[in-house]
Structure formats: C-alpha cells, structure tokens
Chain A
Amino acid sequence: SQTIHQWPATLVQPVGSPLSLECTVEGTSNPNLYWYRQAAGRGLQLLFYSVGIGQISSEVPQNLSASRPQDRQFILSSKKLLLSDSGFYLCAWSPPDRGNTEAFFGQGTRLTVV
C-alpha cells in the first residue's frame, strides 16, 4: 500500500533562517506531488506541484521553493524565512494516471517563524 511521510511535524525557526521540509511517498511510482499551505481563514493554498523529477510548477510567488531530487521525494525550502511564512504545510500525492485522481495527504508540518 502507498504511504506518505512528512517531517518534521512541528518546527520553530527564527526569521532569516533557512527551511527544509521533506516529504516522501512509498509504494507508488511517478506520483504527482504537491505542497500546500493551510492558513486560518485562507483555506488550502497550492504552493507547488510536480509531475516528475526536476519538474516543478509554482502556483504563487513567494519566499519558498521546491525541489524533487528523486521520484518520490519532494522538498520545500527557503533560504531566509519571513514571519509571514508561518503556517501549516501539507504534502500530498496523487496517482499519475487519469483514472484515479484522489489526493493523499501527509500529516502536515506546523511552522512557526519567530
């Protein structure tokens, strides 16, 4: 069966520090991968998605970047965190085939920038 792991679960970082959140998927190949931010009052916002290794699409301009160094690994990064980067970040994957487009979510990372 497929599983998705996301870590860390919580993170407190000072302003200006770097960020690296990691997400890995097991039990499937060539998944579509997503990073979302879930903010109170703003719902679920798609940040990045990837359809393959090295292929990243950004949905909103921001202080963050994403990379996919391996087929089932998706990393969210920042060189210098801002206070506004605080939030709840969700990684998700969906099957690549058209017939099944359900998205499966990780447990999320609560990021607090202080």
Chain B
Amino acid sequence: AQRVTQPEKLLSVFKGAPVELKCNYSYSGSPELFWYVQYSRQRLQLLLRHISRESIKGFTADLNKGETSFHLKKPFAQEEDSAMYYCALSGGGGYQKVTFGIGTKLQVIP
C-alpha cells in the first residue's frame, strides 16, 4: 500500500524566514513524488515533481529514499506563498493512482 504523511496541518512563518513543509511516504517500489499547491480561490495544481529536479517559485524538493521523505523548501518565504500544499505519490504497476497527503496550510505572516 502507498501512503503519504504530512505531519503538520498548519505552518506559520514570517515573511523572509525559511520554509520547510514536511512529507514522508511509504511505498515498496520506486515512487514518483509531487507537490501540489492550492492558492485561495484557485484550482489545485502541480507545483513540482521530483523527477524534474526543478525550482518553481523558489521552492525545491529533494527525494530522500533513505528517509522516505520529500520535503518542500524555500529559503525566504513570501506572502504570496500562503496556500494549501499537498504532497502526492504515484506508484507503478498496471495503472497509476495518485495518493495525496492531508495537506499543510502555509501561512506567511507579513
């Protein structure tokens, strides 16, 4: 079974402070990991995926297979980063099923 754990429901940081949104996963094979974001009154959308190794809006995430983690980081938080963030996992096999964590609400305090 595949599972995604986001231990923090709410994370509040001051503007300019570093941000780390935690995500741990459980999966027996080689997963694909993603971060999705939902800004106020907008659709849930993909922020980044581990296979791309990209930085989007200053956010990065590194897949650590030893710790089974995929934490989302940004060195300096901005007010517009306030949103709901979901970590997600996609497993292999005959079909794809994307499993989401319960989400972490990031609140950036001006």
A interface vs B, CB < 8 Å? 32, 34, 36, 41-46, 49, 51, 90, 92, 94-96, 98, 101-103, 105-108
B interface vs A, CB < 8 Å? 6, 9, 32, 34, 36, 43-46, 49, 86, 88, 90, 92, 95-103
- Kindly list 5 other residue pairs between chains A and B, CB separation below 8 angstroms, not including A32-B96, A105-B43: A42-B102, A43-B103, A92-B98, A98-B96, A106-B43
Contact B92 A98 (CB under 8 A): yes
**Minimum CB distance partner of B45 in chain A:** A105
Contact A46 B99 (CB under 8 A): yes
**Minimum CB distance partner of B36 in chain A:** A103
**Option from A41, A96, A103 in Cβ contact (under 8 Å) with B95:** A96
**Option from B34, B92, B102 in Cβ contact (under 8 Å) with A43:** B102
Which residues from B are CB-within-8-Å of A41?
A: 9
**Minimum CB distance partner of A49 in chain B:** B97
